[in-house]
Chain A
Amino acid sequence: MTAFLVVLVIILFGVAIWQMGKIFQLSKTETSSNSEVATDKDNNVNGWLMLMFTIFIYLLLIICFWKWGDVLLPESASEHGSEIDSLMYISMALIFVVGFFTLWLLGYFSFKYRGKQGTRATFFADNDKLEFIWTIIPVIVLAGLIIYGLFTWTDIMNVDTDDDPMIVELYAYQFDWRARYAGEDNTLGEANVRLIEGVNQLGVDASDPNAQDDVVTNELHLPTGRKILFKMRSQDVLHSAYMPHFRAQMNCVPGMITQFAFTPTVTTEEMRMNDEVVAKVRKINKIRQENSKALVAKGDEPLEPYEFDYMLLCNKICGSNHYNMQMKIVVHTPEEYEAWMKEQTTLAEALKQ
């Protein structure tokens, strides 16, 4: 592969030099003083190319969708996520319409009005009516988008305590995550980095009564149908808790507790049955099998087949292992969740051991 690339670059470079030399010599033989100014022939050729370029952009879009349309995220696994998705569809539709027409006008005008000697350009310096129209239309459209967007945003970010959300702490450090459940009392014990010691990795205040029933885990398990209020903390540098399938993200800031809330709606099991996910997993496993063949040929272990799981990623540059700072998320039915929770040891027990 390396050799191939090096050869490719050398060939491209060679072709460029050769072409340059040729063109350079050609240009030398001309005598007119303005030989480097576009002629009618240049205008014609480049006008046509502009038209083809516009078509190239459309084709690129179609090819991207056709080839890679299936890499996009599957349907949202959280309640507010579907609101975000519909706002996204509307915005995208708008972008495609506006982009399609403006790029077409740009390309077509470049082609249609390509210069010809003797043609007279129209002296058209301003037109208040036109300018008013294309100021007011964006104003109206954007006003709609802004209002829709702000309602969605406020809905997502303002957590109503009447919903009785379940409190879970997400704790970030270089380069891993921990989750701390508030336990029976649904109240997290106080914590500070100054209390970090031994097994008390999160610096929880062991004397705080609220802390006794807290549960610390290295996988995030969530029930469907209940609002989860995440309290984010970081121990060292900025991290960002990114849960793409739930359309959720919030930075973890040292010295500060940030929060984000959502209600999971689709269990891991259900998501694995989702058509899009099934197709995606199949495609990924095909790729992994191909790669495994190469690995086995080299005498390495083959890759394990992939099974879909929700994931929490770090999405704020945080150091050398930033690319691998992840935690598995499992969404259960409420009953399964309760059963899982029962098996966990509370902080009080863990500290005693």
Chain B
Amino acid sequence: MSAHALDHATDHHEDDHGHHHKETFVTKYIFSQDHKMISKQYLITGLFMGIIGIAMSILFRLQLAWPDVEFTIYEVLLGKWGEGGVMDPNVYLALVTIHGTIMVFFVLTAGLSGTFSNLLIPLQIGARDMASGFLNMISYWLFFISSVIMVLSLFVEAGPASAGWTIYPPLSALPQAIPGSGTGMTLWLVSMAIFIASSLLGSLNYIVTVLNLRTKGMSMTRLPLTIWAFFITAVIGVVSFPVLFSAALMLIMDRSFGTSFFLSDIYIAGEVLHNQGGSPVLFEHLFWFLGHPEVYIVILPAMGMVSEIMATNARKPIFGYRAMVASILAIAFLSTIVWGHHMFISGMNPFLGSVFTFTTLLIAIPSAVKSFNWITTIWRGNLQMNPAMLFSIGFVSTFITGGLTGIILGDSALDINVHDTYFVVAHFHLVMGISALYGLFAGVYHWFPKMFQGRMLNKNLGYVHFWVTVIGAYGVFFPMHFIGMAGLPRRYYTNTAFPYFDDLTDVNVVITIFAIITAAAQLVFLYNFISSMFYGKRGSKNPWNATTLEWTAEMKHIHGNWDGPIPHVYRWSYDYSKLNKDETDYVIPGQDFVPQHIPLQDNEEELNH
């Protein structure tokens, strides 16, 4: 692999233009093998899916706030399921299901980790490209196909999958139980199977690249935390996604080939099914064996980027680098042994519930360490309030507020009464949904110049976007804890069937209004993104004065990233505001950061981090 990288290096010396391939439109923009282009493809596909997912959430929020009001928009967008402006209960469930699926997998897994792993791994470790550009291309196009199938499934006659994003059988296995479990569910499963293949190809590529293609001097302990996070995320993905694949495969068998992995003793639509001996609880185990690590697949890349962006903008090293790495490892390990906390009341043995309570609450420890370390990182810093920094601070805020309620939900005894209520919805939206989205936004604001050849996002629009979003997001999810504690179950089409919940209506109205405002703020971002892509101001090569290698690469996108030889690395990536031995000035006088490729200076003390 390194020989391959060297070849490129010499190639570029011989060829002044830095382009030794003939690039056509197709190889440059469509079937590109260049990691920078693939990362943009991931981002734009992810954002497109995000628009669909958020639009869906607005539709069902309207329904929840004003169940008796007829909205013409239902008829416009939902067609026969919104006739006369009244939403069909089945399509409500479909919206909830597809919203969850799209946001978790297509936006926060592919859109977040796919985008930034591709962009940053080669650039930050000093590699010309991914280990296999071809696999990388395949990975994106599989993701694209799975997105297309998921979107197509919205248009099938009986409606898309509507058994919840967790697709628990028998509901997801029997079209008699809900119309969405017909063709819609088949397409959902096919789409996810392809998605898993895409994710695995991507993850294997990231792992190999991080292990093998680091530039000279870039030891594992000198890696920026972003790379650590992407690396471990890829490992978790490789460990857990195949299990979801097996679950999906067995579900396909149960649906189409008459097996009984998850079905037993079922009487539906006036007849007894032949299935015998299967267990839906088995599916829950398999699903959550992926499903829980999945939330860390979503949040770890965000954590890594936030650590990097915070250190850069605080002009301080990240506090406790080794503890940060250790907590990523601890979280990754624990994440694979806590899945049962989604199943405390599933009917599994209560003793198992005790074990999972124990492991689940342990996760609070590395999470607490991380939060304290972030707070200490901004202590006595010189905070540069760029939009990326604001989103990083916002991330820590929602990670704390959302994470703390996890202590309640992770405790089996307390989970009994809040399980599947809006309390859970509030918890996971704050801790993984909103936090990961903030991580995504922080990353986009910070690395936009790297993606679009030096162009930068407009900062004032960024401020508007940030402030409306943070206020709105808390406005949506904070009151949600209350309706959850009041005993309101999630996934209810309307709460009017229970007069007991009548006093929750105005809370739901408040939540919906905040949701609309927050969604509108995303239009500001979208405008900023598109206009800056073409007309954004070009900043300097290293606009945030960061130490990592990506800012030494060429601004113009060339194949191979560096026009000359790949820079070598002599230090960790967090030498911000480091003083010289006499403490008279910074290590490099007048400059408060030392990039990784600068050798140790004469008047500098070498520190081991």
Contact = CB atoms under 8 A, between A and B. Distances in A.
A113 B378 contact: yes
Given A12-B520, A121-B380, A247-B417, A146 B178 contact: no
A247 B265 CA distance: 29
Contacts of A260: 345
A36 B456 contact: yes
Contact of B489 (A33, A106, A247, A315): A315
A17 B504 CA distance: 34
Contacts of B93: 317, 319-320, 322
A115 interface: yes
A7 interface: no
Interface string A253-266: 11110101000000
A60 B478 CA distance: 8
Interface stretch (B242-250, B301-309, B469-477, B560-568): B469-477
B89 A238 contact: no
A258 B405 CA distance: 27
A109 B375 contact: yes
Given A24-B458, A47-B383, A138-B364, A284 B499 contact: yes
Interface in B385-412: 385-386, 389-390, 393, 396-397, 400-401, 404-405, 407-408, 411-412
A238 B384 contact: no
A1 B263 contact: no
Contacts of B413: 83-84, 87, 149-150, 152-153, 156
A20 B69 contact: no
B416 A60 contact: no
Residue of B70, B315, B318 with most chain A CB atoms under a 10 A cut-off: B315
Contacts of A45: 385
A319 B386 contact: no
Interface in A286-324: 287-288, 303, 306, 308, 311, 313-324
Interface residues of A, number: 138
A69 to B, nearest CB: 8
B50 interface: no
A161 interface: no
Interface stretch (B38-46, B219-227, B278-286): B278-286
Contacts of B26: none
Contacts of A46: 385, 390, 463
A250 B345 contact: yes
A237 B170 contact: yes
A236 B267 contact: yes
B543 A193 contact: no
Contacts, number: 433
B386 A120 contact: no
Nearest to B373: A131
Interface in A28-76: 30, 33-38, 42-43, 45-47, 49-50, 53, 56-57, 60-61, 64, 68-73
A38 B459 contact: yes
B482 A71 contact: yes
B97 to A, nearest CB: 9
B319 A125 contact: yes
B71 A287 contact: no
A317 B361 CA distance: 27
A284 B486 contact: no
Contact of A121 (B315, B386, B474, B521): B315
B217 interface: no
B498 A311 contact: yes
A235 interface: yes
Interface string B170-214: 110010011000000000000000000000000000000000000
Interface string A78-102: 0000011001100110110011001
A134 B371 CA distance: 10
B416 A84 contact: yes
B332 interface: no
Contacts of A320: 89-90, 93, 178, 493
B400 A103 contact: yes
Residue of B267, B357, B576 with most chain A CB atoms under a 10 A cut-off: B267
Contacts of B417: 73, 84, 244, 247-249
Nearest to B578: A123
A106 B350 contact: no
Given A37-B384, A238-B171, A135 B365 contact: yes
A152 B344 CA distance: 14
A337 B182 CA distance: 46
A102 B577 contact: no
B129 to A, nearest CB: 28
A274 interface: no
A142 B401 CA distance: 17
B436 interface: no
B27 interface: no
Interface residues of B, number: 150
A106 B393 contact: yes
Nearest to B528: A20
Contact of A36 (B164, B170, B378, B539): B539
A120 B461 contact: no
B494 interface: yes
B353 A287 contact: no
Contacts of B83: none
B239 interface: no
Contacts of B505: 287
Interface string B314-326: 1111111111000
A317 B457 contact: no
Given A124-B376, A317-B164, A154 B517 contact: no
Contact of B170 (A113, A254, A323): A254
Interface in A136-153: 138-139, 142, 145-146, 149-150, 152-153
Contacts of B364: 138, 142
Nearest to A95: B404
Given A125-B317, A150-B358, A238 B168 contact: yes
A43 B485 contact: no
B264 interface: yes
B354 to A, nearest CB: 5
A110 interface: yes
B551 interface: no
A123 B381 CA distance: 9
Contact of A16 (B390, B408, B492, B523): B523
A60 B436 CA distance: 22
B408 A121 contact: no
A322 B493 contact: yes
A64 B516 contact: no
Contacts of B498: 311, 313, 326
Given A13-B523, A306-B502, A254 B280 contact: yes
B280 to A, nearest CB: 6
A113 to B, nearest CB: 5
B266 interface: yes
Given A103-B397, A254-B264, A64 B592 contact: no
Given A71-B483, A109-B378, 4 more contacts: A68-B479, A124-B380, A194-B267, A316-B420
Interface of B: 62, 66, 69-73, 85, 89-90, 93, 163-164, 168, 170-171, 174, 177-178, 263-268, 272, 276-281, 314-323, 345-347, 350, 353-354, 357-358, 361-362, 364-365, 368-369, 371-376, 378-386, 389-390, 393, 396-397, 400-401, 404-405, 407-408, 411-414, 416-417, 419-421, 456-461, 463-464, 467, 470-471, 474-475, 478-479, 482-483, 485-487, 489, 491-495, 497-500, 502-505, 507, 516-517, 520-521, 523-524, 527-528, 531, 536-540, 543-544, 574, 576-579, 592, 607, 609
28 contacts: A5-B516, A27-B458, A36-B457, A36-B543, A37-B543, A38-B389, A45-B385, A57-B478, A87-B413, A91-B411, A92-B408, A102-B372, A106-B397, A113-B380, A114-B385, A115-B382, A122-B379, A124-B316, A125-B320, A236-B170, A237-B174, A238-B280, A244-B417, A253-B347, A254-B264, A255-B265, A284-B500, A322-B491
* Nearest 6 pairs of A and B residues by beta carbon: A255-B264, A244-B487, A157-B350, A258-B347, A46-B385, A36-B456
